[in-house]
Structure 1
Amino acid sequence: MEDNGTTESSMTSMDPTEYYYYSEPCVTKMSALNPAVMSALFYLVFALGLFGNCVVLWVLLKVMHLKSMTDVCLLNLALSDLLTVLSLPSWALYNQGHHLGADAVCKAMAGTYHLGFYSGILFVTLMSIDRYLAIVHAVAAMRTRTLRYGVAVSLVIWTISFCAALPEAIFAAMVSEDNTTQCQRIYPAESARTWKLFRNFGENTVGLFISLPITIYCYVRILLVLRKTKNSKRGRAMKLVFAIVSIFVVFWVPYNVAVFLQTLEQLEILQSCEASQQINMALELTETIALVHCCVNPVIYAFVGEKFRKCVAKYLFRIKLYQTTSIHSKASENETSNTPL
């Protein structure tokens, strides 16, 4: 960010900031993580997230063939995570000092990242609602948990996410300063503060004020229902519920709290230079932690699902059976061809 308040780094906290209400310039270019460590983490998340989410997409499209709302939710969550992980190599190169130098690349990096950010949280929330309906209102929700409803809700989520991410792409541009080129948001001078508050409010609304309460409510209700059942798999299901809620809280709540504190700073409620420095470092650290969800989502939402695993097992069994049959067939053909007439 610059001291005129019109530019800001496209990923949350990478540049020095000078706010006009400080008596002296406050430089907040203090990184919580070494750039090399961040780049290595981005590459690792990219590799694991790409593999895991591609496997989920392949199974859903080639093996399970999208038969329910749950399948549609899993498909779109995997697509959302892929959007995020596909932007990570560019950010890793950026952290290493390899600036690609084109505004179009900067806009694509910022837009893709935030489209994945918004859609990812919303599809995780939709998964929570879907499981809540399937367990708490199993009979009543049979008509709503259909493939058609899943597609309709997914289109709404993608539309909302696109609209929320569009300003990030529009205002992103490469800026050259002090012999360095940086991908920053360039806001109009007369409305810079408004756009910053709008962005933070949007992130907090989606991640903190909507998704978190809905997710907690849905899984608390699910736990109450599971406690009353005598199913032998109840214990495993309850552990999975705790894991899902814990992972959501660990990955998303710290980042949203940091964004909320940054909003207080922009509203001049928090005005000390030390607070600004700590908030910037917290944003960088918590945003990096939040990225790891791209690797975790395929595990907790797909691979641990009984239906998902059974479909994969059946498919692998059919392949093994086909290979065994082919080997026996070829052996029989060879024996027949070697038999004298």
Structure 2
Amino acid sequence: MTAWWDDSPLPPPGAFDDLCAAAGGGVRAGECRRATGGARALFSTRAFARDDVVFREIPALLVQDPRNVASARACARCHALLDETPTPTACAQGCGVTYCDERCASEHFSSGGHRIACVGPLESYSHPVAALKLACAKDDDGDGLLALLTETVARCVARAEEDAAEEDGREPPGEGGGGFLRRAGAHWFVRGPSSLPAARLESYATLVSDALDAAARDGTCAEDAKRAVLGGDATRAVSELVGLLSRNQLSVVVAANKPAAAAAAAAAAAAAPSSPSSDPPPPAAYDGVGVFPLVCLMNHSCEPCAEVSFEDAGAGRGGVRAVVRAKRAIAPGDELTHAYVDVDADVSARAAALAGFGFKCVCARCARARGGGERG
């Protein structure tokens, strides 16, 4: 069977229609006017004034930074903050992961693949699944990529099992070898290998492959599903997934909303206004990495017309969402852009930072700087 990475072209712009409608219908996907080769872009369908919300979007993939879990409890499925939830639902296997409710716990355990990556039943970190989760927690490279990769692979394996069950072991028609990618929300941008160093990719592939081998032996995943995702070349499969994630992942930070704690801190401050210790500490924040398909369609500009932030919609209301707001007036048909790098840096620093994304910026600001010797 052809590997999924060999027959999974980029979805056509029309494939995003349902996502655009779910985001309010104010945007549409299309081909980038400034590029060749079918590059994608996102366009407005109506006028927006400065500071208007253009759209909101829930993530296709999202994981919390393991180092952030202690300071900001969040649902492991929808990522709604749980600071005001006195008794959140816990993983039944005792791994310590928490959820909004039983629905989120059940979905994450089954289709979300948590049963494959859960360390609750394991007795030692020498077990390959536990070793993988420990490596995610250490995050030696500080980018959260391994944790996002682990979540993605576990979800893909779980969805591959569902595909096989629904099709009675037959490959789903019209999906090639990558139907599980679509069902896992990971198919939007699969294209080409990763640019990460070979040693790092091989390390990731070994950790993931060993964990899935152990999960198959333990009966928490099917051998056929593992083979569908990794094929016969685990390093190549991991490289393709890392290529997707590393090019499209966003750093997701949400300020915690603690009204009760804030009120208590204010009361304490009023009781002892002269005490430096009475100042309430800043609220904890959710910190993670995720992939948002519509946001990822937005191309970079050093003079962006929009900016992206993140909010907690709350349990049962979508959890963490991306919020795209207009930085200036936007007309119908305008391409929506945001900044991938610090636009306050000069043109050379921006170019160096953007090289990591694999392109040279051709926005009007950079063109002016290069042509006139401006700092840009």
Could you state the TM-score of these two structures normalised by the residue count of structure 1?
0.24
User: Larger radius of gyration, structure 1 or 2?
Assistant: 1
Larger proportion of helix: 1
Could you state the TM-score of these two structures normalised by the residue count of structure 2?
0.22
